[in-house]
Amino acid sequence: MRQVWLVALLLLPQALAAQMQNGAAQTGTAQTGVTQTAAPAPQFQTWSNQKLHLTYFYPAELTPRDGAFAVAAGRRILYGEDAEGEQGKADTCATALLSVGEGKEGGAGAWARLGVVDISAECFPPKVLRDKKATQLLLRNLVTQGTTVMGTMPLEVPTLYELDGYRAGFCAAQGQPVTPGDVQTGGQQLIGIAVVALQDRLVAWVIETNDTATFNRILGSGVDFGSGKPDKLFPAEVR
């Protein structure tokens, strides 16, 4: 098992505040000889889901992608890597809400995929999310299953923490994932799963990338379940 060091992640970049200042309108007559430059591009963009009371600030360079990878990750989170026998049930339990990314897996340069998956509590015993110990055990199991992929090794044991007032779990793995039928493995990549337990459901974040800096940038993205003060998706980074 590969040992990594977790270090404190910088606070969510202050780019949004700076953006507001740079873009603020100024009154008065323009002065000759003053060069006007465009405001810098925002580092994060916003996605909201009213049903979950969720506002999520994710890296601005990520653009919409097909959500198949997020649905597949949802099945893996729920039933483990060998989830083919539960595919029909998993499609009902897990729904991809957000699917974005950049680059192309297998191509030159960095690539990344980020998904947000809604997992219905109806797929678990009714009382599991009402009991603290049961919820903690559930979160540990789910993030472990979600990052258990043939060809990869865990980066760290599952970590339990609080995310904007809710219980959450996180786990990550690294390696060359192998799917059934593969003759050769793909390139090295990082896989991260964060799962948050709400009162009536679970919300999972799926991160897949070949770039450590991008992985840590996504870990530092902001999650707000209605408090008005977003927390980092995970309060540490990997090296």
Containing domain of residue 207, as a range?
44-177+186-238
pLDDT at 180: 54
On whether residue 191 sits in a domain, the answer given is: yes
On whether residue 34 sits in a domain, the answer given is: no
On whether residue 79 sits in a domain, the answer given is: yes
On whether residue 17 sits in a domain, the answer given is: no
pLDDT at 4: 36
Spatial separation of the C-alpha atoms in residues 110 and 41, rounded to whole Å: 20
Whichever domain contains 71, its CATH number is 3.40.1000.10
Angle among Cα 79, 51, 170 to the nearest 5 degrees reads 40
Q: What is the pTM of this model?
A: 0.79
How many H-runs (helices) and E-runs (strands) does the chain carry? 5, 14
Query: What confidence tens digit (pLDDT) does each residue in 141-172 have?
Result: 999 999 999 989 988 789 999 999 999 999 99
On whether residue 54 sits in a domain, the answer given is: yes
On whether residue 224 sits in a domain, the answer given is: yes
- The number of domains in the chain is 1
Query: What confidence tens digit (pLDDT) does each residue in 60-110 have?
Result: 999 999 999 999 999 899 988 775 555 555 567 889 999 999 998 877 889
On whether residue 96 sits in a domain, the answer given is: yes
On whether residue 64 sits in a domain, the answer given is: yes
Per-residue pLDDT at 8 exceeds 50: no
Which position has the token pair 């897949």?
208
Instruction: Show Cβ contacts of residue 108 under 8 Å, excluding neighbours closer than 6 positions.
Output: none
